[in-house]
Amino acid sequence: MKLLLDANLSPRIARAVHVLVEPDGHEVHALVDRFPAATKDEVWLESLAAENGWATLTFDRHIMKRPHEREAWLRSGVVVFALEPAWAKGLLPREQAARLILWWPR
């Protein structure tokens, strides 16, 4: 699996989880490590689609409601996991990373 963590998740989470899952052939990257900070969702979704096999993890549940972003997402074929706000509320990045690691096998 290749997973991109959106800009609303700490890049440290992506880097830490990548170290743990990379030996099993998986990749986890932060959006800011692959694309310039101001890259629009439509652009990075198109780029990931060209590489095949990507999924993305985000807190941006509105991506499915903004017409231009929704269209880009559907066109790309990239799987989007939109997390509930409870994943972030009051949690430090290391705690979010722990949740992601526990969730990973599912």
Per-residue pLDDT of the chain (106 residues; tens, 9 = 90+): 999 999 889 999 999 999 999 999 999 999 999 999 889 888 999 999 999 899 999 887 777 778 888 888 888 899 988 888 777 778 888 888 888 898 888 8
Domains defined for the chain, CATH in brackets:
2-103 (3.40.50)
pTM for the full predicted model? 0.87
Instruction: Provide the pLDDT for residue 64.
Output: 72
Whole-angstrom Cα distance, residue 69 to residue 28?
22
Instruction: Provide the pLDDT for residue 56.
Output: 93
Tell me how far CA of residue 100 lies from CA of 11, 25, 70, in angstroms.
Answer: 13, 17, 25
Alpha-carbon 32 to chain mean position: 11
